[in-house]
Chains A and B, each alone.
Chain A
Amino acid sequence: MSQAFTKVMARNIFYGGSVFFFLLFLALTFDTHTAWPDRDNHENLTGTVAQGKHLWEVNNCIGCHSLLGEGAYFAPELGNAFQRLGGKEGIKGFIMSRPKDGIPGRRSMPQFNFSPEELEAIASFLEYVSGINTANWPPNIQG
């Protein structure tokens, strides 16, 4: 790089640029918070849904599935599972019917032996997720 452009100038661009864009990021984050009430489906965030999210976490569902496109890509997207599997009963039925030893030669989901209340919580969580405004993602029902 040319001599006219000094190390001090480079340093100032680093500090100035970083601070400026971090502050801009904070401002956009603040604005995002104000926009969320219309988008995040919080009105349906019940105690059962919170319990469902907890079960989702402690069973590491994200280790195979994606949720709103984030997670692992080994098993189907679940952000729209509520629609794809035909509502809460469809979700529960699928989870309940997983064979303990898997399906020979196929990707297999473990049998978690959830209680009926736990199944209800997980299905409610996925219903809540399906109501989040995701800017029309995923492109179609297949996720």
Chain B
Amino acid sequence: MQYKSQAVAKPYFIAAIGLFIGQILFGLILGMQYVVGDFLFPEIPFNVARMVHTNLLIVWLLFGFMGASYYLVPEEAERELFSPLLAHLMFWIFLVAGALTILGYLLVPYATLAELTGNELLPTMGREFLEQPTITKLGIVVVALAFLFNIGMTVLKGRKTVVSLVLLIGLLGLAVFFLFSFYNPDNLVKDKYYWWWVVHLWVEGVWELILGSILAFVLIKTTGVDREVIEKWLYVIIAMTLITGIIGTGHHFYWIGAPEYWQWWGSIFSALEPIPFFMMTVFAFNMINRRRRNHPNKAAVLWAMGTAVMAFLGAGVWGFMHTLAPVNYYTHGTQITAAHGHMAFYGAYVLIVLTMISYAMPMLRGREAAPSNRSQVLEMWSFWLMTVSMVFITLFLTGAGILQVYLQRYSDEPIPFMVAQDKIELFYVMREIAGVVFLIGLILYVASFFVGSRDPEATVAAAGSASA
């Protein structure tokens, strides 16, 4: 570790992993409810488990982004973090606010939570992914601003690199577009239209800038390729991201009451959205092939390659599959959407955070560059188990989705939703089994931090033979 204050990243990463475990456990509950409809009913109804599942995902990814920023910005800026104390303080505020919100979901009925938190004063609750009580949302804004201030001051006072600049633009966009979560008009069409300014412009916009910059940082560090080359790639990738992704928002406006020309704008531009993801794949593999040195942390390089491939598959390929308006007319709001959502979030954002944790954690735990051999082997096992099971989760949901579309919307005699759901149950059983394998992968991931933690560091040659 080059700068002492990079250490503030550690609690952020630990919290991220902890919340990730919670997310997966609730994912398994949800998967079970798809198989046994009244599982845990009425104690934990589906909607509550789903809120916990999706909100934990968002919160732990944010913890991951913040931890990644605290780790990489001092190194890029070549100076200590502006205020480690503020970073620590924000960590606890965010963790406590997050935990209280999740407990609120679980312990009281949602309507009671809305009442207790004064939702009446500024109603923002009850919209997908933005279920947090208004006071939690305000807390998120405070934490985001303090975080941006801390990171921004560090960048301003130090060396300004493309990596840190792109990260900063991404984080700024994240904070700015979140403000649309406070706009909740009675008019449902307007509500939905601007809801996408948070959701789409986050995950298919500014979050990709954060993703790109973290990936660029890890590639600079692990491959030793000239920074100039990597930064040029980064600019081209994020340029394509925003050029395609901003108007690409239109693929959400087809059926919510917006004018029909959005079917053209949305189809054309979102059909181009896979391009930046494909470029990211080419970029990562190119840089690794042209590496000037072998990094002893093979696991981190594996996560980075995984990110590049899985983001393209999940966000790019599975996104394109149902983005053209004539196709989306049939697939909109089915298990096809769920399939895409799972692999895109895993491939792009889960994997980039795990890449960064894999790269940074050895240094945060006092090592030179890499965990021990045994630890890395376990970590790579966890990568493959989680990634392969996520591929199967996605395939089973896609199968379910195709059948659902046919039975309920496409055949000559469409059948009711619940009747169709019964007919595709087998796919939900298979998905749940794949989910259990994912959990096993996650358990191995956690174990990799403890197994071999007293062994000596992996060296380049030894790590090479371990992965062979």
* A residues apposed to B, CB below 8 Å: 1, 5-7, 10-11, 13-14, 17-18, 21-22, 24-25, 28-29, 31-32, 35-36, 39-42, 45, 49-50, 53-54, 56-64, 66-77, 100-108, 110, 112, 128-129, 132-135, 137-143
Contact = CB atoms under 8 A, between A and B. Distances in A.
A74 B415 CA distance: 16
Contacts of B50: 63-64, 72, 74
B247 A25 contact: yes
Interface of B: 33-34, 36-38, 41-42, 45-48, 50-51, 110-111, 114-115, 119, 123, 125-128, 131, 162, 184, 186-190, 192-193, 228-229, 231-233, 235-236, 238-239, 242-243, 246-247, 249-250, 252-260, 262-263, 265, 329-330, 332-335, 337-338, 408-410, 414-418, 420-421
Contacts of A137: 254-255, 329, 332
B411 to A, nearest CB: 10
Given A106-B38, A139-B329, A139-B409, A40 B257 contact: yes
Given A107-B418, A134-B257, A58 B333 contact: no
Contacts of A54: 123
Given A36-B189, A60-B47, A70-B192, A108 B243 contact: no
A99 to B, nearest CB: 10
Given A40-B189, A107-B33, A57 B239 contact: no
Given A18-B246, A129-B188, 11 more contacts: A10-B232, A54-B123, A62-B126, A64-B45, A71-B333, A73-B334, A103-B38, A107-B46, A135-B255, A137-B254, A138-B255
Nearest to A58: B114
Nearest to A106: B37
B118 to A, nearest CB: 12
Contacts of B417: 75-77, 142-143
A18 B242 contact: yes
Contacts of B187: 40, 42, 45
11 contacts: A18-B243, A21-B242, A31-B259, A36-B257, A39-B189, A57-B114, A58-B110, A60-B47, A101-B41, A102-B38, A142-B408
Given A58-B110, A140-B414, A142-B408, A22 B246 contact: yes
Nearest to B51: A63
Contacts of A102: 37-38, 41-42
Contact of B256 (A68, A106, A107): A68
A133 B256 CA distance: 8
A128 B252 CA distance: 21
Given A21-B246, A135-B263, A139-B330, A58 B193 contact: no
Contacts of A72: 46-47, 50, 128
Contacts of B115: 58
* Most interface-central of B36, B50, B255, B260 (chain A CB within 10 A): B255
Contact of A58 (B51, B125, B421): B125
Contacts of B123: 54, 57-58
Contacts of B257: 36, 39-41, 68, 132-134
Contacts of A63: 45-48, 50-51, 110, 128, 131
B111 A70 contact: no
A33 to B, nearest CB: 8
A23 B254 CA distance: 20
Contacts of B36: 105
Contacts of A31: 259
A112 B259 CA distance: 36
Q: Taking each of A6, A64, A74, A140, which has the highest tally of chain B beta carbons within 10 Å of its own beta carbon?
A: A74
A142 B85 CA distance: 56
B37 A100 contact: no
Contact of B128 (A50, A70, A133): A70
A1 B452 CA distance: 41
Closest 4 CB pairs of A and B: A63-B47, A57-B126, A69-B333, A107-B37
A114 to B, nearest CB: 10
Contacts of B253: 32
Contacts of B330: 139
Contacts of B34: 74
A100 B330 CA distance: 34
Contacts of A66: 333
Contact of A62 (B127, B235, B249, B255): B127
A76 B110 contact: no
A106 B187 CA distance: 34
A140 B412 CA distance: 11
A60 B127 CA distance: 7
Interface centre among A70, A110, A137 (most CB of B within 10 A): A70
A73 B418 contact: no
Contact of B186 (A22, A53, A74): A53
Contact of B247 (A24, A41, A108): A24
B228 A7 contact: yes
Contact of B126 (A36, A60, A104, A107): A60
B144 to A, nearest CB: 21
